[in-house]
Structure 1
Amino acid sequence: MRDPGHLPAPDDTGSATEERYAYQAQAALRAVMEMLAGGEVLHVTCEHFEDVLVARSCSTVPGGVTLWDFQQVKSRETQGSWTLSRVLRSKALASLLRTHRALKEHKDLTYLLTVGVEGPLSSDTDVRAVAQGRGGSTAERLYKIAKHLDADPGETAEFLRLVRIEELPDRYELERRNRDVLFELAPHLRVGEVEALHADLLSRVTLAMRGRLGPRWQALVTQLDVPETILRKRLTPQKLRDVALRLTRPDLADYVRASRLAVQAHPYPEVGSPGMPSLSSVYVPQRLYRVMFESGQPRSSPADQSPGDAADASAFLGRALVCLVLAGPGGGKSSLLRAVQADSAERWLACEDQGPLGVTVPATALLGSPLPGALAAAATTQLAAFALQRTLSDELFLSRPAQGACWLVLVDGLDEITDRDDRQNLLRTLANFAAEPDPLYRFVVATRPLPEKDLGILGNDVPRYQLMPFSRSELFSAAQRILDGWGVPDSGDAAGRFVRVLDDAYVTEFARNPLMMTMLCQLYAADPGQSLPATRGALYAKFTDLLHRHMSGRGQSGVRSQAEAAMARFGPTALSRAHDLLDQLPDTIDSLASGLLSGSEASWVSALADQDSARRPRAVPEDDWKDFLASVLRRSGLLTRSGHGFSFLHQTLQEYCAARHIARDPSSHAAELDRLLAPWRENAGNPWGAPLDTASYIGFLIDPGTASPTDPTASLRALAVPGNIRGCLLIATQLSLGTLLADKRKPLVRAASQAMAAASADPDSEATERVWAANVLAELDLQEGTIALETLVDDRLLDEEFNEDPHSPDFSDRLLAARSLLELHPQRGKDACHRLVHDLYLYDSVRVRAAEVLLAVGDERACPALEYLAEADIHFDDRLGAANRLAPLDPEAAVRMLHKLIEDYRGDPDWLDWCKTAAQALTDLGDPRGRQIIGELSVGL
């Protein structure tokens, strides 16, 4: 029994006045600060057996035994020194004797028993002897103590050898000394910071004395080796890591503390009162899938799915030096990055093995600025609302957060950099930083899907993860958390009704998008009886209208009331101009959004001031008017203020407002739509190289919810032809965005589906293009797309040209179709791969790769498939590859297959080197015959 935390205390009858309690806390604080200073204290436990239990590493005892110091702390009610009689009357020795009796049978415990007394000991020989562990050195003293304790003299003598008495300073001096220790440990801190640290530490000690230390103990304790009740009383280095960090690196401690709070702010827009709940209270983790690239086409791999929670995501994404997170508009990218940053700070403090520490930065902030400076500026701006105490410096991000640790730079919104050259240059810069020996930074880049020629700068070896929308089963839990976060009563029942409303309105697929889900929940919470919008544009129209009505309310919190209070003193003209501005604000924001989308770089306040509706009244000073304009923009609900001025809360809000502005002019609308659709009319090879970053904005331009003056059906119908896979991909993208959900657009979806069905079945088309067409068909019509992919997997003519040109098996179009099928229907995809393994018409390396795919997705047929191929009548190196792949899974089978392979070919001199390679594989597996076979083969040369 090496830890007394496992033992029940002999009694728990102690009671104390607040005054003695405070002194006891200061006494315990001495050991806590010794632990912080790197001394021999391992941890401190309060109110278990005695007032304070200090565990020390006993360096003088062989084997590194822990020395347990059980301390009784006694404050004095009157002045005067401590005599032996006074110590006995304090009952400190009686309490320590009970502890001794409870512990002495445990021979593996090394312990001391200490009485800490406030004030000096008297010069009395008896009390001095007890203080030094010699209390039983005279019979008279031993008898006196034993009689007082009602104990046997022999037991008392053994007990007193373990007892020490320590003189402690008075309460004021003890507190001063504790503060002085903090000043010594951290001379760089300001007086106020030291005072705050002292108060924080004292508070934690007091909580430990009351058994209420936490509530984060479970996350901070690496091993639950004692009961929870003891852990709530125990101060450990893990629990004090943030304090230790504040002593040594206050800027880093400030950053970590604020980062842990970063999930309090939700990145999505909100309407209503009292406001958006914290992201941490409503955040529903999403799944990440590894995106594979074959023939330039992205495909998700279920074998590489990450766990869904943020804790696992932060470790998962931090493995690679650079990785990409892809999701459509409102797909949850910003929420994920915020959650990862906060969780990495939590884990970083909690774990001995410190991993990467996250820092989020907008991609646009990295243009034209050195990386450390951009990180410092972005982090300071982002965390200012979370009680960040200092402006973060470049030096913080020029050094490691801890030895062996690095910064996990979370780059948000690569797609918001509109210039392609700037995007590519930024990716090159990040790749160069990551390529340095022992790099200081790792990067996670979040973006909407972009053309492959943009992302290809990083190469196909850089991991790419698709952030998946909510599954149907996740919709209910997501709705419940969101509605509960807004305080909707009976959130479980409300979430059930909400999901039924989604089904009734045929917008369930639409709601799988996190941003759409959040907005729909807000509209539902505002009026549970209303019907939900049928398209994305209609949702944004309803949502922005609700934002404007909320902003323009005449309550005390409404912007009109505040505008009247601010402008009334400047006269009726100023007041009238303010009301005109508010009336025209939606149209004005739409106009400014369109200008910004087309490349204008004017600041929002300056751009607004240039509008006729926002001209400054003569009576209003310029600074007052600019402050008023800034407050109006901030209260619009659409914008947020950052270090660079105002920006939209979400890019889709800017796209919607810009589209609504364009839609007011039929000629401008037609010209803009024609410009944006032009690249989608080109069937220039790979459809995945299309300008996917424009798809969301196009969606708002064609959505009836934006009240477009012209019907774009004809333009879109021209895209839905078999020869234009790229154009049909745009239609499929609009369907997934919720643009084409209205009944009048269903014929367009059917036309695109028919076009892709025809393209995938056309035997005269390129094989890869047929697979692409089947993939697009699956996005338009899941059932038909699945059937088309199965048909292509089984089409032996599909790889006919490939079989004449044996190159990488990853370019097999039949295998490409099978892997696509895996994502859509896992069981059908597995069955398809299994059929490919046994297809004698297929190139040998493709059959082996199909078996590896089965292995990657955990299919039980994978090992038998590899064993079958390792002895099949296929090419030597493919048999060898199958055997090597089998080796870590079934070594005995792999050894059999390798021997069989060698025996089949060892008589043929053309295969001698291959046989030696197989024999070396036997040796690597520990088969002693492998070296013998190599020798025999070498002799035969």
Structure 2
Amino acid sequence: MGTFLDAINVADDVSGILTAVIAVVTLLTFYRQSRQAWWRELTGYWNAQFNTGEEDGYPLDAHVPPLLKVYVPRTAKPRADPAADAVATDDLVLQDGPHVLLIGPPGSGKTALVRQAAAASAQRWLTSAGRLGRAPDGPLVIRLTAAALAGRTLQHAIAEAAAPWVPELDQEPLPHRRMVILVDGLDALADPQQRSGVINMLAREAATPPRHRRLVVTTRPLGDKELETLAPFDAYHLMPFTEEDVEALAGRWLSDPDPFVAWLGSDPASAKARSPLLVTVAAVLWENGIHGSAPRPAELMEAFVGLLLGARRTALDALFAGPGDTGPDTEWLSRHRRDLLVAAAKTSVDGKDVVTGTLDWIGEQLPGSRPERWREPVTKLLLRTGIFQNGRRGLVPTWTGLVAYLAADRPAPGLDRNTMTTGMGTPSRQAVVGWQFERAGTPEEFIEEMRAAPGGSTDVGRFAAGGLPVPEPVLVEVLATLLTDGSPEARAVLITLAADRAHLEALRALADDESQPRTVRRAAHLFFAGRAVMSVPPPG
């Protein structure tokens, strides 16, 4: 009997051991499957983001190097302390810290920064093969456009972008990892109601401490009220390209960069041509043997548009050469491709459906032509030029800077002050106004007239902050007036101006210029001390 009971006890022990082993194996299998599940779900998203960094993005016949090869790391300065040292944007994006708002004028490389950050992160994660032990240090990076947030929650927008992976925003996206959500192009929301809704939603999200997720939002300069709403973010100004940045990009792009760098710096009046957007355009043109005597911005952009329309011309010709499509209307459309792009760009900047707006323009130009029949070829043309891409609600710009250039078109004789100042105060139209100003030859008398009008110093300050050239004597007067103004609006413009090295040096010079009134010098010192200036009489 005792032997029988011993056998039962042994059997129980073996059964317990087997149960424990089965439980461990089951747990390990579940862990491996769940680990592989998140990796499988995110692989499609990572591949798509990596491809945006590996592809050149231009439908050109010539080779253009991928973004990941030529990208030059950027820096930014805290908006609250313009005199502070610049910090690397990679640190702002990838390291722990608060939510960040990155502000930069048109053409300053905001979208390229977001594309590169998402592509580089995806490249690192794809090497992990589903093993967190081999995963890269740092967060999971998710890239969105501000337009994707219009009328939707943050969670829904992320789920659509990274499908089939579905995030839970109140917990870690992956074990021991945080998520960084890059939101690009807040300024591109042309509809004021949409932009207000997205700004309010982002402000609510940013009011939550960044425990499991951080937001990094890019935008052109915003209005004072919008910046006030976004106060939960730490705001930074993206620093302009330096000469060293230009040389670095040229060295990564061109086999013989020195002639290109010399040409790009040959015209001191063309400092705007050294913005990231225009340096990139200039490099593409240089590679294709297209460059004039000096790198004038409007000429660079016009040559680039011509290059886009000239590339794959046979494929574009075929769009208007279908059976039964011959005739004067077809020939007219084929000859006016650039005008068609201008119509599409203007529609996009106005926040309307791009294809529908372009067809409406065709109807105005060709009465009785039934423009709806051109919907498919027009859509294909806009996509094949690479200027537009498919978005959630129709076509959206691939390059907002290029679309702004086209939307500016050729300016009418003379410049209307009200139109220009209103445009500079509207984020989605700032670049359009800049190109209109550039094409008009930047008339000094227009700047002088604007400066003399009520509130003119603030308007001229916004123009200068947007990258438009302002004569140095006028700029000094404007800075002095803004320093002693004392209003929150004037201080906001000064802070934006101080993000540019040349403007920062001009402000420092005012602080030490004995020829300036004491009130101006004192106000400049207070500005650098980070203190508000009470309203004082204007200098005189």
Into which bin does the TM-score normalised by the smaller protein fall? 0.7 to 0.9
Contact 1:721 1:752 in 2 (8 A): no
**Which position in structure 2 is the counterpart of 1:325?**
102
- Aligned residue for 1:368, secondary structure, equals coil
Question: How do residues 113-152 of structure 1 correspond to structure 2 at under 5 angstroms?
Answer: none
Q: Relative to structure 1, is the Cα distance of residues 632 and 578 closer, same or farther in structure 2, using a 3 angstrom cutoff? A: farther
Hey, what's the Cα distance between the residues in 1 that align with 2:282 and 2:420?
29
C-alpha displacement of 1:473:
1.8
Q: Is it true that 1:428 corresponds to 2:200 in the alignment?
A: yes
Aligned AA (1:283): Y
Contact 1:363 1:412 in 2 (8 A): yes
Number of aligned residues: 499
C-alpha displacement of 1:264:
1.8
Q: Percent identity?
A: 22
C-alpha displacement of 1:532:
3.5
**Which position in structure 1 is the counterpart of 2:326?**
574
Hey, what's the Cα distance between the residues in 1 that align with 2:463 and 2:372?
52
**Which position in structure 1 is the counterpart of 2:347?**
595
Q: Relative to structure 1, is the Cα distance of residues 647 and 333 closer, same or farther in structure 2, using a 3 angstrom cutoff? A: same
Aligned AA (1:315): L
- Aligned residue for 1:720, secondary structure, equals helix
Contact 2:185 2:218 in 1 (8 A): yes
**Which position in structure 2 is the counterpart of 1:277?**
65
**Which position in structure 2 is the counterpart of 1:363?**
146
Q: Relative to structure 1, is the Cα distance of residues 361 and 419 closer, same or farther in structure 2, using a 3 angstrom cutoff? A: same
Contact 1:314 1:343 in 2 (8 A): no
Q: Relative to structure 1, is the Cα distance of residues 335 and 587 closer, same or farther in structure 2, using a 3 angstrom cutoff? A: same
**Which position in structure 2 is the counterpart of 1:290?**
78
Q: Is it true that 1:372 corresponds to 2:160 in the alignment?
A: no
**Which position in structure 1 is the counterpart of 2:292?**
530
C-alpha displacement of 1:256:
3.7
Hey, what's the Cα distance between the residues in 1 that align with 2:51 and 2:223?
35
C-alpha displacement of 1:244:
8.0
**Which position in structure 1 is the counterpart of 2:432?**
697
Contact 1:414 1:445 in 2 (8 A): yes
C-alpha displacement of 1:634:
1.5
**Which position in structure 2 is the counterpart of 1:403?**
175
Hey, what's the Cα distance between the residues in 2 that align with 1:717 and 1:793?
22
Provide structure 1 residue ranges, at least 5 long, that are not aligned to the other structure. 1-36, 41-180, 188-240, 294-298, 381-390, 484-490, 681-689, 741-747, 801-811, 821-941
Question: How do residues 478-557 of structure 1 correspond to structure 2 at under 5 angstroms?
Answer: 478-483=249-254, 491=255, 494-506=256-268, 509-527=271-289, 530-534=292-296, 536-552=297-313, 554=314
- Aligned residue for 2:451, secondary structure, equals coil
**Which position in structure 1 is the counterpart of 2:36?**
246
C-alpha displacement of 1:757:
6.8
C-alpha displacement of 1:428:
2.7
Hey, what's the Cα distance between the residues in 2 that align with 1:586 and 1:428?
38
The alignment's TM-score, normalised by the length of structure 1, stands at 0.46
Q: Relative to structure 1, is the Cα distance of residues 373 and 784 closer, same or farther in structure 2, using a 3 angstrom cutoff? A: closer
**Which position in structure 2 is the counterpart of 1:82?**
none
Deviations 1:697-739 (A, max 9, x none): 22222222xxx5x9965433212349742133144236x35xx
**Which position in structure 2 is the counterpart of 1:814?**
525
Q: Is it true that 1:674 corresponds to 2:445 in the alignment?
A: no
Q: Is it true that 1:732 corresponds to 2:489 in the alignment?
A: no
Question: How do residues 871-882 of structure 1 correspond to structure 2 at under 5 angstroms?
Answer: none
Deviations 1:739-758 (A, max 9, x none): x4xxxxxxx61451353376
Hey, what's the Cα distance between the residues in 2 that align with 1:287 and 1:244?
38
**Which position in structure 1 is the counterpart of 2:401?**
652
Contact 2:359 2:372 in 1 (8 A): no
**Which position in structure 1 is the counterpart of 2:84?**
301
Hey, what's the Cα distance between the residues in 2 that align with 1:416 and 1:587?
22
Residues 248-257 or 405-414, more deviating: 248-257
Hey, what's the Cα distance between the residues in 2 that align with 1:475 and 1:363?
29
Hey, what's the Cα distance between the residues in 2 that align with 1:799 and 1:537?
38
C-alpha displacement of 1:615:
8.9
- Aligned residue for 1:360, secondary structure, equals strand
Work out which of the residue numbers 258, 264, 281 in structure 1 matches 2:54: 264
Hey, what's the Cα distance between the residues in 2 that align with 1:774 and 1:441?
28
Hey, what's the Cα distance between the residues in 2 that align with 1:816 and 1:412?
30
Contact 2:348 2:354 in 1 (8 A): no
CA RMSD of aligned residues (A): 4.4
Contact 1:520 1:532 in 2 (8 A): no
Deviations 1:32-82 (A, max 9, x none): xxxxx9999xxxxxxxxxxxxxxxxxxxxxxxxxxxxxxxxxxxxxxxxxx
Contact 2:77 2:238 in 1 (8 A): yes
C-alpha displacement of 1:501:
0.8
Contact 2:49 2:122 in 1 (8 A): yes
C-alpha displacement of 1:337:
1.3
Contact 2:461 2:478 in 1 (8 A): no
Contact 2:56 2:64 in 1 (8 A): yes
C-alpha displacement of 1:430:
2.4
Hey, what's the Cα distance between the residues in 2 that align with 1:733 and 1:360?
28
Q: Relative to structure 1, is the Cα distance of residues 365 and 283 closer, same or farther in structure 2, using a 3 angstrom cutoff? A: same
Q: Relative to structure 1, is the Cα distance of residues 400 and 771 closer, same or farther in structure 2, using a 3 angstrom cutoff? A: closer
Q: Relative to structure 1, is the Cα distance of residues 256 and 548 closer, same or farther in structure 2, using a 3 angstrom cutoff? A: closer
Contact 1:482 1:518 in 2 (8 A): no
C-alpha displacement of 1:608:
2.5
Q: Is it true that 1:255 corresponds to 2:33 in the alignment?
A: no
Work out which of the residue numbers 788, 792, 796 in structure 1 matches 2:510: 788
Hey, what's the Cα distance between the residues in 2 that align with 1:621 and 1:469?
44
Hey, what's the Cα distance between the residues in 2 that align with 1:464 and 1:399?
26
Aligned AA (1:456): E
Contact 2:343 2:358 in 1 (8 A): no
C-alpha displacement of 1:292:
1.2
Deviations 1:891-917 (A, max 9, x none): xxxxxxxxxxxxxxxxxxxxxxxxxxx
Q: Is it true that 1:608 corresponds to 2:359 in the alignment?
A: yes
Aligned AA (1:700): W
Q: Relative to structure 1, is the Cα distance of residues 315 and 300 closer, same or farther in structure 2, using a 3 angstrom cutoff? A: farther
Q: Relative to structure 1, is the Cα distance of residues 274 and 585 closer, same or farther in structure 2, using a 3 angstrom cutoff? A: same
Contact 2:264 2:274 in 1 (8 A): no
- Aligned residue for 2:101, secondary structure, equals strand
C-alpha displacement of 1:272:
3.4
Hey, what's the Cα distance between the residues in 1 that align with 2:492 and 2:67?
40
**Which position in structure 1 is the counterpart of 2:338?**
586
Hey, what's the Cα distance between the residues in 2 that align with 1:414 and 1:781?
25
Hey, what's the Cα distance between the residues in 1 that align with 2:513 and 2:191?
41
Hey, what's the Cα distance between the residues in 1 that align with 2:299 and 2:520?
44
Q: Relative to structure 1, is the Cα distance of residues 416 and 453 closer, same or farther in structure 2, using a 3 angstrom cutoff? A: same
Q: Is it true that 1:718 corresponds to 2:475 in the alignment?
A: no
Aligned AA (1:701): Q
